A and B are shown apart, each in its own frame.
Chain A
Amino acid sequence: MTSTVDPGTVHDGPGREVSILNSLIVRFAGDSGDGMQVTGDRFTTGSALFGNDLATLPNFPAEIRAPAGTLAGVSAFQVHIADHDILTPGDAPTVLVAMNPAALRANAADLATGGTVILNSDAFDQRNLTKAGYVSDPRTDGSLTSYRVYEVPMTSLTIEACKPTGAKPRDAERSKNFFALGLVSWLYHRPLDSTVAFVAERYAKNPLVVEANTLALRAGFNFGETAELFESSYEIPPTTLAPGTYTNVTGNTALAWGLIAAARQSGLPLFLGSYPITPASDILHELAKQKHFNIRTFQAEDEIAGVGAALGAAFGGALGVTTTSGPGIDLKSETIGLAVSLELPLVVVDVQRGGPSTGLPTKTEQADLLHAMYGRHGEAPVPIVAAKTPSHCFEAALEAVRIAVTYRTPVYLLSDGYLANGSEPWRLPTSEELPVIDPGFQRETNHVDEDGTARFWPYMRDPETLARPWAVPGTPGLEHRVGGIEKADGSGDISYDPVNHEKMVRLRAARIAGIARTIPLVDVDDPGAASGEKAPLLVLGWGSTYGAITAAVRRARARGLTVAQAHLTHLNPFPSNLGGVVTSYGRVLIPETNLGQLVRLVRADFLVDAVALNKVEGTPFRVGEIERAIVDLLATEGYSEEAGE
């Protein structure tokens, strides 16, 4: 479905006062069974089509259906839309749509002061209040006085609206999320067309559901217009985005597409060995749908077999990939070690989630960095690439494959729960813009014995990259054996020779370190640089903190503070200028959603007294949290807002 948005178009307002907003943060919250993810997703798409910039943050419980009406069962979807470029799903929602008391109770504290609460008053009966743990009715006990509260009997209005379909009330009621969506769409001038089309397609098998959802959607919209409950409606004008074709994409989808693109660009058939695990499974699902790209997806018996099969496929000349999260990474470590020893291309995607153990399966965390870096026995270096935004997962996947194939090495590709399920508009590249990856298969022997016999030596290295040749079965004359036992440099024969072992350990390390020659230098955004006077503080991040850090740095600058920012996509090896960069700043602040992992690497590698800012609540940083840390840190250095430039 494609539509062109003319940024100049002003949609007809509903005939009441219309206020213009620069941005809006809406959170839809309800029971797991209330369809809040779909509601949020449709509001997002409507906004994307309208031309706003946006960022989303779904938040759902680990249980598939926790008991209805309880706090444990609350599912929410937050979307930040704006008329300018934004980087995060927003710190505090300005609007909360609460479908029941539990949804209100679980989310009210996050709401910005003066924010709007739209609640489904039908759900606020004694039973639901008790289930949510309310001792008194929050609507009347004064606890919501700092918000603007709109009570809408969504359930009964939905049932009423669906009467023409003949659906039983119990079935009709299930369309109430579309009523809520219709109402919020009216309030914020979101067109309904794309959702109407979506409903028709998604529920095509069940015409009654199509009709009910559509009626509920329109009823919600009309209710806003006619009920005179709201004194005003709002418009968030479109953003001026760079010209191009856009789509709204989640990290998992972008990552899957990046792998498909990498397979195309390298000419290698894609083989995914995987075992279902939250929040990585959607990559498996997406690739399983795309078999017509000659993709083999193998749902293995366990995590170990998933990565093992991917490595076996790589030995055969395929692009071997495995995807996982949490405990799955622990299980794959042994095979990753083998891949280090075999020096074969392999991409290990880790969609990080809260740990240890089962931890917080549906929540985000960046706590696997040191595992990716060191989580194997022996000296077993593995390159690490980390995506920074949902759409960046595409590019990061291509980069991980480039490194894996060029250097014949397993590569960790780190995403996380926030990137995986969060979404943002993405200006689509065309396939011609993508880099070409050359697998450079070995076709000929590469060594001559003293007696003149031509041989293939599987560990004869390329002098430039130190990568060994990739000779795949089916190539006559290059038959060879590889294995996990230490190999003699060059011939690859089993070798227990101590001097050879040290040589091989150092060669493997040098090969990975040498990747730095092919990765871009870290780019520092320092407003002081132009005047020749560096900022007193560098904020350095990696992975999904990119949005929150960038927004916080912008805010700090708006306060008059001079702050530099840099962000890492390559964690091993680091960009070659990173040491120079971090040692050139008076202070370095490293925000991470872990207890301080990059900060350890930076301190150890560069002897820099970097400061850690850490958060492990299973949620991304709020912009304000980083902003405060920047302000506080600069204050200790004697820089206050007034003293800024």
Chain B
Amino acid sequence: MTTTEHDTAGSVAAGNPTSAPVPLTTRKDWSSDQEVRWCPGCGDYSILAAVQLLLPELGVARENTVFVSGIGCAARFPYYMSTYGMHSIHGRAPAIATGLALSRPDLDVWVVSGDGDSLSIGGNHLIHALRRNVDLTILMFNNQIYGLTKGQYSPTSEHGKVTKSTPFGSLDTPFNPLSVAIGAEASFVARTHDMDRKHMTETFRRAHDHKGSAFVEIYQNCNVFNDGAFAEITAKERREEMLVPLVDGQPIRFGPEGSRGVVLDGDARLRIVDVADVGEDALLVHDESRSDPSLAFMLSRLAGGPYEPTPIGVFRAVERPDYSTLVDQQIDEVRARKGDGDLDALLRSGTTWTVE
């Protein structure tokens, strides 16, 4: 007997997308019976709600959905979903999810992670999952602090950050997560924040629908150890001034009545301008599917930190074959060429001799 498909473990799943229509569900169907244990007021609650509200709209089945996480506050996420899930090891979720996605391309695999998990201990796995374009939806909760270990600076904390482990201020230069992702050849890169459920939902929907690795940075407030880290840009009254919504095919503008915008200077730099000064036609038109990542990279660095006007939305969404598809194609090609594997023939493929 030769296993020709995922016909042992995944047969139920494999049939699903086309055969049985997925029954209608509500948020309740996607919530597990486990008590949610984040600190009251934590931004994680609204992210969880956004995901649980979105999933019923996606037409996917619970049994075909898997959440994989590493370690950290965000990493408790899978326990609260009534799907398949794995709470794994610090930083390793992208690697574990890669194995799952490669062996089960029929599944919807999500990775939930934090800034320490993704960019410190797990930085290597993240960049390699992105460059391979493994079909994963990666949600990275960025709160710029270590929450679970009670307040040390993280790889996204600002220079000079005073924490328990840096009483005299951090000396590290922080990572810009979107720059890292774009530099790692990510095919889908977006940013959203925990104060705007609608924006999160739409961003997650786009990320989920993207075939390949989708990386979403979510500005998330840790009200216990880094309260208000993003307040300057995400507070309701600040958003209009400080958030720069990226809309595909549209000039990049923000501010009251769209009075401000982004232009590409002659010296290859992005600059924020008053639209009245330069005219609407001078504004940079956002093109998320541009194959060259340079502009997306520049946009990811428009703000020096969450205290300057900061772009949100989809920075980059380009089509490129996802890794599972390539792996399966190669297997199919080899099978077409060599025929299905035959163990007895394999054992006898070297020089053999027979003793009577």
Contacts and interface: CB of A to CB of B under 8 A. Distances in A.
- Top 8 closest A-B pairs, CB basis? A474-B13, A317-B9, A483-B87, A309-B99, A312-B99, A293-B341, A308-B95, A305-B95
A476 B12 contact: yes
B32 interface: yes
Given A342-B86, A475-B13, A4 B99 contact: no
Contact of A473 (B64, B92, B346): B64
B355 A260 contact: no
Given A317-B9, A338-B88, A429 B347 contact: yes
Interface in B263-314: none
B346 A474 contact: no
B203 to A, nearest CB: 25
Contact of B98 (A260, A268, A309, A429): A309
Interface of A: 1-7, 45, 48-49, 51, 194, 241-249, 257, 260-261, 263-264, 267-269, 271, 273, 290-296, 298, 300-302, 304-305, 308-318, 320, 334-335, 338, 342, 428-431, 439, 441, 472-485, 493-494
B331 A292 contact: yes
A174 B164 CA distance: 66
B256 interface: no
Nearest to A194: B351
Nearest to B16: A474
A484 B89 contact: yes
A476 B354 contact: no
A246 B78 contact: no
Contacts, number: 268
Interface string B26-66: 00000010100000000000000000000000000111111
Contacts of A261: 343
B84 A305 contact: no
Contact of A316 (B12, B103, B330): B103
A172 B304 CA distance: 65
B228 interface: no
Contact of B9 (A245, A342, A472, A484): A472
Given A305-B124, A484-B88, A269 B103 contact: yes
Query: Interface size bucket, B side?
Result: 35 or more
Between B5, B344, B352, B355, the greatest number of chain A beta carbons within 10 A of the residue's beta carbon is seen for B355
A482 B6 contact: no
B214 interface: no
Nearest to B63: A476
A303 to B, nearest CB: 10
Interface of B: 1-6, 8-14, 16, 32, 34, 61-66, 68, 71, 78-79, 81-89, 92, 95-104, 106-107, 124-125, 128, 327, 330-331, 334-335, 337-341, 343-344, 346-348, 350-356
B9 A268 contact: yes
Contacts of B353: 2-5, 48-49, 51, 245-247
Contacts of B1: 264, 267
A264 B84 CA distance: 27
A173 to B, nearest CB: 28
A7 to B, nearest CB: 7
12 contacts: A3-B353, A4-B354, A311-B96, A317-B10, A318-B99, A320-B99, A342-B86, A473-B13, A481-B78, A481-B79, A483-B78, A484-B88
Contacts of B4: 294
A1 B354 CA distance: 11
Contacts of B341: 260, 290, 292-295
B344 A317 contact: no
Given A301-B124, A308-B92, A439-B8, A264 B106 contact: no
Contacts of B81: 481
A334 B86 CA distance: 15
A2 B352 CA distance: 5
Between A263, A310, A472, A485, the greatest number of chain B beta carbons within 10 A of the residue's beta carbon is seen for A472
A267 B9 CA distance: 9
Contacts of B97: 312
A431 B347 CA distance: 9
Contacts of A335: 89, 92
Contact of B343 (A7, A264, A273, A474): A264
A152 B10 CA distance: 64
Contacts of B338: 292
Contact of A246 (B9, B124, B352): B352
A476 B11 CA distance: 11
B8 A431 contact: no
B99 A273 contact: yes
Given A247-B350, A493-B34, 17 more contacts: A4-B354, A48-B353, A242-B355, A246-B352, A246-B355, A263-B3, A268-B3, A294-B5, A313-B99, A316-B103, A316-B104, A318-B103, A429-B347, A481-B78, A481-B84, A484-B88, A494-B34
Given A263-B3, A474-B104, A244 B355 contact: yes
A390 to B, nearest CB: 13
Contacts of A475: 12-13, 63
Nearest to A267: B8
Given A248-B351, A300-B95, A264 B89 contact: no
A437 to B, nearest CB: 12
A296 B343 contact: no
A294 B99 contact: no
Contact of B102 (A260, A313, A430): A313
A313 B100 contact: yes
Contacts of A474: 9-14, 16, 63-64, 104, 106-107
A304 B340 contact: no
Contacts of A249: 350
Contact of A268 (B8, B79, B327): B8
Contact of A312 (B16, B34, B100, B350): B100
B10 A294 contact: no
A485 B90 CA distance: 12
A347 to B, nearest CB: 13
A245 B98 contact: no
Contacts of A441: 8-9
Given A257-B346, A294-B341, A300-B95, A483 B351 contact: no
A245 B354 contact: yes
A248 B351 CA distance: 7
Between B6, B64, B84, B348, the greatest number of chain A beta carbons within 10 A of the residue's beta carbon is seen for B84
Given A300-B95, A305-B124, A312-B96, A291 B334 contact: yes
B335 A292 contact: yes
Given A474-B63, A475-B12, A428 B103 contact: no
A581 B192 CA distance: 67
Contact of A317 (B34, B88, B102, B104): B104
B28 to A, nearest CB: 14
A2 B345 CA distance: 12
A48 B351 contact: yes
Contacts of B34: 481, 493-494
B82 A479 contact: yes
A249 B346 CA distance: 12
Contacts of B327: 296
A334 B89 contact: yes
Contacts of A473: 10, 13, 63-66, 84, 100, 104, 107
Between A314, A335, A476, the greatest number of chain B beta carbons within 10 A of the residue's beta carbon is seen for A476
B354 A431 contact: no
B354 A246 contact: yes
A444 to B, nearest CB: 12
A298 B99 contact: yes
Contacts of A45: 351
B92 A245 contact: no
Given A318-B9, A481-B85, A494-B79, A2 B348 contact: yes
Contact of A315 (B32, B86, B337, B343): B86
B339 A292 contact: yes
A261 B2 CA distance: 10
Contact of A51 (B12, B331, B350, B355): B355
Nearest to A311: B96
Given A473-B66, A473-B104, A474-B16, A428 B352 contact: yes
